[in-house]
């Protein structure tokens, strides 16, 4: 089993030395390549729009990957070189994707070209897996395109039989999802075969008026049928599955049953915690309320053990860097207390519930802007010369990210 530290939030592709060394020093032997660092969901959502040039390294050094997919090689050249020098493997990568609340319905062709370049680059660097999220049916589907039948989406041939087998004559959206994604993934099969890369589908949620709900591949049995049909049409096992634990938690799904439905089709698992309401990437066992974890880690472990999972275990903790507690000005508050302050109860929360988590757990923004002012807190304590008690009232968190990865690997294989 490969224990992988996701590179997003740790490695700067332009100056990767420190981030790569940090992962190596922590004991990791594997990392992932996050292609969305070169082509963000924001860039894809605004693809083709006239925009002012923004100040930033990517704009100065490279052409937009959404318009020039071949640029991914230049974008990640330094990072790959640094990983090679430090003997850090890259067994899995995450392809660029649209945001959960995307309004674009015209990017299937553009995404296909981008994913093909990502597959080629994966082949060049020896990365065997590329996670490619499915397309949303209510985003890319066009009624006029469907009326064109085979020319537009590959027709019903296998799709009609598949759709009826999985949902009877049910939901029109599910049929659209299959038809759209069948063409999308089979369009990547030949490139993946030529480059020795397996394409992994991933369970999705969808932003509906501020709430995350189940979406494409969010049903384990349905996802298994998708994979069987795709592999049958590809003529080999070219497609597998990546299970995102954070999405399962958001959608309130049984992780044990989901893992059992996929069986040996499951090639990778993304381990990340969240509060069950908002999408986040926190260290496992971080989100707890009244001493109980929000994510059912025990059911997950039992499911992975039951199917004998021995694939890619990806730890992503992008949001662990900042606090999320809104409130008082720590500097002023502590200065006023001065020598009267004798003890501190230190913990973090989401700004809503009375949660007890390790400091630097929560974040409200993807830009890593802290709303819990830990720096101000520390400056205030230094200003008053605090020498009292530091009491950490936190829910259990099992060590550093590397330690968590080793814990999961051991529990799964027992």
Residues 124 and 229 in one domain: yes
Residues 229 and 368 in one domain: no
Residues 261 and 385 in one domain: no
Give the domain range for residue 86: 2-321+399-413
Residues 316 and 351 in one domain: no
Residues 375 and 228 in one domain: no
Q: Tokens at residue 278, please? A: 């908002």
Task: For the chain of 414 residues, list the mean pLDDT of each consecutive stretch of 10.
Answer: 86 88 86 90 82 47 79 91 94 91 83 94 95 76 35 38 43 77 93 96 83 83 93 95 91 91 95 80 74 83 93 79 43 61 62 58 55 68 73 47 62 58
Residues 92 and 202 in one domain: yes
Q: Tokens at residue 49, please? A: 């729009």
Residues 18 and 159 in one domain: yes
Residues 317 and 334 in one domain: no
* Number of compact structural domains in the chain: 2
Residues 290 and 373 in one domain: no
What is 88-119 written as a DSSP string? -EEEEEE-----TT----S-HHHHHHHHHHHH
Q: In the prediction, which pLDDT does 299 show?
A: 92
CA dihedral 19, 196, 301, 250 (to 10 degrees): 70
Q: In the prediction, which pLDDT does 245 show?
A: 92
Residues 287 and 371 in one domain: no
- Scan for tokens 């309401």, then name that residue: 277
For 301-316, letters b (16+ CB in 10 Å) and e give bbbbeebebebbbbbb
C-alpha distances in angstroms, 17 versus 12, 22, 88, 188?
8, 9, 12, 33
Q: In the prediction, which pLDDT does 201 show?
A: 95
What residues have CB less than 8 Å from 216, skipping those under 6 apart? 134, 135, 136, 137, 177, 181, 203, 204
Q: In the prediction, which pLDDT does 345 show?
A: 58
Residues 376 and 294 in one domain: no
Residue 280 CA, chain-centre distance (Å), reads: 9
User: CATH number, domain at 25?
Assistant: 3.20.20.150
DSSP 266: E
Indicate if the alpha-carbon torsion angle 78, 131, 97, 204 is positive or negative.
negative
Residues 385 and 405 in one domain: no
d(CA 174, CA 167): 8
């Amino acid at each position: 089993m490969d224990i992988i530290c996701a590179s997003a939030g740790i490695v700067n592709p332009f100056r990767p030395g420190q981030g790569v060394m940090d992962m190596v020093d922590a004991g990791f032997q594997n990392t992932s390549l996050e292609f969305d660092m070169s082509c963000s969901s924001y860039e894809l959502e605004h693809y083709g729009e006239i925009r002012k040039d923004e100040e930033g390294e990517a704009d100065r050094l490279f052409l937009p990957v959404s318009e020039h997919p071949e640029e991914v090689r230049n974008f990640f050249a330094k990072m790959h070189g640094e990983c090679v020098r430090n003997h850090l493997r890259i067994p899995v990568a995450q392809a660029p994707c649209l945001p959960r609340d995307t309004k674009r319905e015209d990017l299937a062709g553009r995404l296909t070209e981008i994913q093909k370049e990502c597959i080629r680059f994966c082949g060049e660097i020896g990365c065997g897996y590329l996670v490619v999220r499915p397309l949303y049916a209510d985003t890319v589907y066009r009624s006029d395109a469907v009326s064109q039948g085979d020319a537009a989406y590959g027709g019903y041939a296998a799709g009609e039989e598949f759709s009826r087998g999985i949902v009877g004559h049910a939901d029109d959206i599910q049929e659209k999802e299959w038809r759209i994604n069948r063409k999308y993934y089979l369009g990547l099969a030949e490139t993946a075969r030529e480059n020795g890369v397996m394409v992994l589908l991933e369970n999705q949620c969808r932003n509906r008026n501020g709430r995350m709900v189940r979406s494409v591949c969010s049903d384990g049995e349905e996802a298994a049928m998708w994979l069987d049909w795709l592999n049958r049409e590809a003529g080999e096992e070219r497609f597998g599955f990546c299970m995102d634990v954070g999405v399962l938690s958001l959608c309130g799904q049984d992780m044990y049953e989901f893992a059992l439905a996929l069986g040996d089709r499951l090639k990778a698992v993304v381990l990340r915690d969240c509060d069950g309401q908002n999408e986040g990437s926190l260290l496992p066992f971080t989100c707890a309320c009244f001493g109980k974890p929000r994510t059912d880690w025990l059911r997950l472990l039992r499911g992975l053990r039951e199917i004998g999972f021995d694939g890619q275990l990806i730890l992503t903790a992008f949001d662990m860097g900042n606090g999320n507690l809104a409130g008082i000005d720590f500097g002023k508050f502590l200065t006023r207390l001065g020598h009267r302050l004798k003890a501190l109860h230190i913990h973090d929360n989401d700004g809503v519930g009375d949660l007890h988590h390790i400091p630097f757990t929560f974040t409200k923004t993807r830009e890593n802007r802290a709303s819990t002012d830990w720096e101000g807190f520390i400056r205030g304590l230094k200003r008053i010369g605090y020498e009292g008690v530091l009491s950490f009232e936190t829910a259990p968190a099992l060590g550093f990210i590397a330690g968590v990865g080793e814990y999961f690997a051991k529990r799964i294989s027992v």
